[in-house]
Amino acid sequence: MTASTRPAAAPALVAAALACLLAGASAYTKPDQLQLLENFKQAMLARPQHSHWAAALASWTCPTAPNNTVGSTCDPCGQQVWGNWEHISCRGKRVAYDKYEIPGDGTVTNVHVTDYLIEGPIPLAELCPFTALREFDVDGGSLTGPIPTGFAQCFPGLWELDLSYNSLTGTLPPEIAQVKTLEEFKVEHNQLTGTVPPEYGSLQLNWLRFADNKFVGTIPKEYAALQPELYQLTLDNNGLDGNPGFSGNLYPLSKFSMSNFNAANNPGLCGMVPVGLRWGHGFNYYGTRLGLPCAEELAGGWVDLSESL
């Protein structure tokens, strides 16, 4: 993203932000981060449809809570797991999978605006200035349009990208695979179409959720390289309402040991189910041909899958 694509703060908001900073320069929130947060709020409220954004960002006001404010009257980051302003946090380095040093250095690391029915396209350009972002979570909204391609350029250290439970359309961008740090990618419950990109097999994903879309095609053989990191995968309900859904066998996943796996309602899926998927929580093969030979197996003779069972 270039500077020209980033929204400029309204003069009144810039003045307010500077006034807050002058009131106490030792706040945890860095001055540039405070102004970027003000810029983001202004950009979202300027959208033609913004009522749900207004509700989501209603807590973004000054002064902030005195018991979580350091050296200033306006400290969005604060010194707790989540900031004084809802939906953002400013955490330090990770000391375990889900534990972090608190507080961080005053840089915004997490944006988590969920279940507010927020409208419009995915706000990638508006959040792009937050280059230290690790979590981009906007699930449970009313976001529309395609998934943009520039996540790697904006957030080179992103860990979690959650776009689920929206109304997104189009295909999955292969460019998501350029986010080499990505651990969780969730797009379930949208209206996405096409095949799943083989490029995602180059990542070290833990969670991958494709359920309740309109995807088609086979599981790319490249996904075998996701093992052993990937332990949660959902493919269910892509073969509904006349959509063919996923098809073919699950052999690229034959060496996996899943804690969560669901493949229901994909009538084109077939072949034996690898044992590491069968024992995953939520395993469901209803509406598939899993357990029955695929057409190519019937044509060419039975395939020995004993190592996968």
Q: 73-84 pLDDT, tens per residue?
A: 899 999 888 999
- 133, part of any domain: yes
Measured distance CA(301)–CA(68) in Å, rounded: 68
Residue 202: the pLDDT is 97
Residue 283: the pLDDT is 96
- 101, part of any domain: yes
Six token digits for residue 58: 């209603």
Residue-averaged pLDDT of the chain: 89
Structural domain count, the chain: 1
Mean pLDDT score, 159-184:
98
**Which CATH number covers residue 286?**
3.80.10.10
Percent of the chain with pLDDT over 70: 87
| pLDDT-based confidence at residue 60 (cuts at 50, 70, 90) | very high
- 183, part of any domain: yes
Mean pLDDT score, 26-44:
90
- 279, part of any domain: yes
Q: What is the largest CA-CA distance in the chain?
A: 78
**In terms of C-beta density within 10 A (0-12 exposed, 13-18 middle, 19 or more buried), how is residue 71 classed?**
exposed
Residues 175-181: contacts with CB within 8 Å, 24+ apart? 175/149, 175/150, 175/151, 176/147, 176/149, 176/151, 176/152, 176/200, 177/202, 177/203, 178/151, 178/152, 179/151, 179/152, 179/155, 179/203, 180/152, 181/156, 181/157
Mean pLDDT score, 237-250:
97
| pLDDT-based confidence at residue 103 (cuts at 50, 70, 90) | confident
299 pLDDT exceeds 70? no
Helix spans in the chain (H)? 11-22, 31-45, 51-56, 124-127, 151-154, 275-278, 295-300
- 72, part of any domain: no
- 88, part of any domain: yes
- 274, part of any domain: yes
22 pLDDT exceeds 50? no
Q: Do the beta carbons of residue 256 and residue 206 sit within 8 Å? A: no
The β-bridge partners of 160 are 135, 184
142 pLDDT exceeds 50? yes
17 pLDDT exceeds 90? no
286 pLDDT exceeds 80? yes
206 pLDDT exceeds 50? yes
In the block, which residue shows the tokens 């990770």? 94
b/e burial code for range 215-242 (CB count within 10 A of at least 16 → b):
bbebbbeebebbbeebbbbbbbbbbbee
Mean pLDDT score, 154-175:
98
In the DSSP assignment, the letter for residue 67 is: G
Entry pTM: 0.88
Q: 62-74 pLDDT, tens per residue?
A: 999 988 887 778 9
309 pLDDT exceeds 90? no
- 16, part of any domain: no
Mean pLDDT score, 228-255:
97
**Domain extent at residue 129:** 79-308
| pLDDT-based confidence at residue 4 (cuts at 50, 70, 90) | very low
